[in-house]
Structure 1
Amino acid sequence: MEKNMLKKYSIYLVILITGMALGYIFSDSKQDNAIKEDIVVANKEVNWSCSMHPQINAKEKGSCPLCGMDLTIASQKDGELEAHQFKMTKNALALANVETTIIGLGNLNSNTILLSGEITTNEKTNAIQTTLFDGRIEKLVVNYVGQYVKKGQLVGYIYSPELYAAQDKLLTSVTYKDTHKKLYNAARNTLGLWKMTDEQIDAMIASGTPMMRFPIYADVSGTVTEIIAAEGNWYKQGDSLYKVANLYTVWAVFDAYENQLPFLKIGQNITITSNAFKGEELKSKIAFIEPVLNVNSRTVAVRVTLNNKKQHFKPGMFLQGKINIPQDGNKILTTPKSTVLWTGKRSIVYVKPNPKESVFEMREVILGNVLGDSYIVLDGLIPGDEVVTNGAFTIDAAAQLQGKKSMMSNSLSQSNVRGLNDESGKLVFNANLQSELPNVISTYIELKDFLVATDSNKSMGKAKELMSILLRVNESVLDKETKQCIVAVRTISEKISKTMDIKEQRKQFKGLSKNMVAIAEKLSKLDQPIYVQYCPMADNNKGATWLSFSDEVFNPYYGDKMLHCGSVTKTIQ
């Protein structure tokens, strides 16, 4: 029994010693980690973050405000990234099957534009049958849509007290027509003005009784498209009874968006298809492009006139139009459709800024027309950008988990830039840029004024001055997007400063203004309002913007040729 007791206590002693040893090891390891942590903090300024909430970024050690976990030193490699960039592991990329491609400029060669539209009546052949005098509709012979009416056909009967009185007056004048011929002729002509035929008048005189129900005859031929009148109702002279259209020709009306208009012109070939005639294609030409934009749909009507003698096309039928765009030597930037994620009004892509690292960032892009399997890129990307073509949703999910800018965040979220945003999301520049900013804006607007005055020599000088001001800006404190705009303004200013050609200066001024507008829209605490103005006719009807201190329009793209062409589209305050 003593042996068993001794064995039992021996086991307890071994467990106790083992526990003390492990405690010492872990305590020593924790102490070593704390020492290492202190060494890192002492030797270099570090950021503290939460492993569960990477968006938390603090200068001092503490607890996560979201989950209460102890903050740890952020990875030094991650610290070298831009605030809106994030990194993914190779395993994560492999599991998501992420693929990228480098985009570039290409020829606009044999691409197509697809337009949706519908058949409408040819408004040139539309007509309305009206009443010639006040009266009550006693009967309508034409009483349903689709009924074909020939000119001169009986379409209904009307009772008119006015017409009845005129007939009675004529019957009275018949008794003294030999002695008062002028009065008789006047009474007869009155009925003729109301389109009573001589045969009807003679028949009425022969009967000696006025007509109670006067027949209505069709003025034009066509197919009834709308019934307006109803039996028993009272109508005044000129009121509409029904509408007709000649459907031997119809219109195919397509909706074209603003960014498609530069590719369209009158006389251009268009191939028309319809679900009603699958497999059949109709070749035609654009007959008319509406000059006014629909402000609600942001589209312009493009019209094609179609021969419809066989009555194949019915008003209201949906159509699809395909227009081939021939090669014209222009280079355009496109991105595959698979790169784009749509979120409400925004469209975004994910870019890999460094081909050697698995680092990504989100970009908002402005897209143009669909060309085959790609979109035309109007803004947001440049040739040489490497974009994610497969796995973009997985990349976006990773961005959300790491608290980075994603499709779920606002376009001007605070993760966009490194400490340069105020509470409204607008940029608050450092002292260096804040001191130079008034000079940048005022010098740009002086350059605009010289273009308005068509003074190429002074425009060159102001462009050179603008370039020199921007050279003094410290770009290291700017976020990537603003830095790109500043560099673009400086580059374009240099181009303007090297040419006396006013047309070339105005051409370059469009790109300059585009970047200046982007900068101005991010500003806060302005001393005076800045007006964004737009001319739809600039750059061969592609449109262009500019900034002004005045809400009165003075066009820098045309000068005195079209001095006040344009309008204020936005006020920045």
Structure 2
Amino acid sequence: MKMLKAHKKVILALAATVFAFLLGFALSEDGARPARSAILLPAEEDGKGEKGMIYVCPMVCIPPMEAPGKCPICGMDLVPVYRGTGDESGPPRIKLSPEAAKLAEIETVAVERKAVSARIRLFGQIDYDPAHIATVATFMPGVIDRIYVKRPGVFVRWGQPLFDISSTDLLETQKELIEAMKFVPSFYSFQSGIPHAARDMPIQDLAEIEKRLDGSPEKETALRKISAIRHKFSLLGLQKRDIDELMTKGEATGVATLYSYIYGQVIELNASEGTYVNRGATIFTIGDPRHIWARLDAYEVDYPWLRRNQEVTFETDAYPGESFTSKVVYIDPVFNSKTRTFRVGAICPDMGGKLKAGMLVRAYAHSQLSDEGKVHNGDELNGKLPLVIPSSAPLITGKRAVVYVRVPEEENLFEGREVTLGPKSESHYVVLSGLEEGDRVVKNGNFKIDSAVQILAKKSMLDIEGGHSAIAHHHHGGSELMHEDYQERRMKNLMTSEPAQKPAEQHMVVDKSQQEVENFRSMMSTGQRKTITRRKPGMYGDSAQ
């Protein structure tokens, strides 16, 4: 009886086990299938032939899913997109559901032709116009004997004496002139007997008259020498009245007076009395205060917006609330390699004398572009309005710019296009090619659309020619996708690399590594640790404390 009861218990236990196994198998028929929200399955077409919708993570943390929800990695809401939209060989297209478009805050705007202007900010200071700056230099080496204008800032008129220079070279030349005059004693007696208007006759005419009176060879030679010396003095800057005075007195002093030949203000005085100067040394620099300009610095990005004869307005702290108008007359053709700026000169006639050299100014230049991206005046833009898009519409990556255009007669269907951009204004880009007037481009939410395009493995803003990604995308918890050309190069490298080690050698290397690990473990377990040698304080000159 005991044996029978024991067998009954065993049979009941086996029956319960079989029943539990069958019940678990029946319940696991539905659960054994992977969840549709966890694995991306092929899209099933409905009766109308529309492609299926998938839900993707904006951060590409997980593969696309077929059910809405949140990303288990980053916690962001999955974005619904249509898969399989558009031709794979043509421009990338993607269709969003109305909910996805609303969630992504998609906004489109029409491409149009209109006048765009940019307000270019420039900074600089007031300076004298270089075209109205004169320098008074020495014509021969000597010593500054006397200075009549003592300090910079003094206004001088035309013909006002500036300084006297004493020179031994000048003394020798004056002596030559006086010696030549000894052969023509009647030269100045004749000139003093004629009317004043005839005294200003060229020396060649006077020599012709003297030649008619007496044609001796000595007088002809002396007259030619006098004419040459007078011409030399004129080229050196001596006034005619000083030359005539020298010839009248007949006394060589070796001193000459230099005069100002423009009206203006002394900018620089580079010598003092008693200073020895060489030939060509600049003593005075004089600028006309009626002709000034704003010397401005512009950045490299502002170069397309500036041109000559462009109007520029500027302000200065000396006259708050008052603006001055100037005109661009100079654009430096060379950029400053250190500051990456270039010089712009805007002339500003200041008849009232308000502006002084060295004043800091803030200038603004207003520019308009034509359809070719060139600067024009407002009256020149008739029929040449540029094609523009908002500055937030293009996705710019290096040399490329991509915009997403809404496909006509399709709801929430967007197509990516590569465009060529011109200069950028304050709020718009000039489009040179890639778009037509009337196209509707995405100005808000374009980056979200591009992210969805990348998830679908289509050409996006990060693709270069041939459809290869310009930037590697790192997926959280997943492996990177390799392109076919990369796989081919990888296979070639493996085939052309050195032959692999023999199996016996590989086993030897593995055994050796395992042996080193075992030795290290045994050493650590027995307490046989190597002593770490530490340097003594102060060994290398540091403090021993």
The one of the two structures with greater contact order (alpha-carbon pairs below 8 A, sep at least 6) is: 2
Normalised by the length of structure 2, the TM-score is 0.48
Q: As a proportion of its length, which structure holds more helix?
A: 1
In terms of Rg, which structure is larger? 2
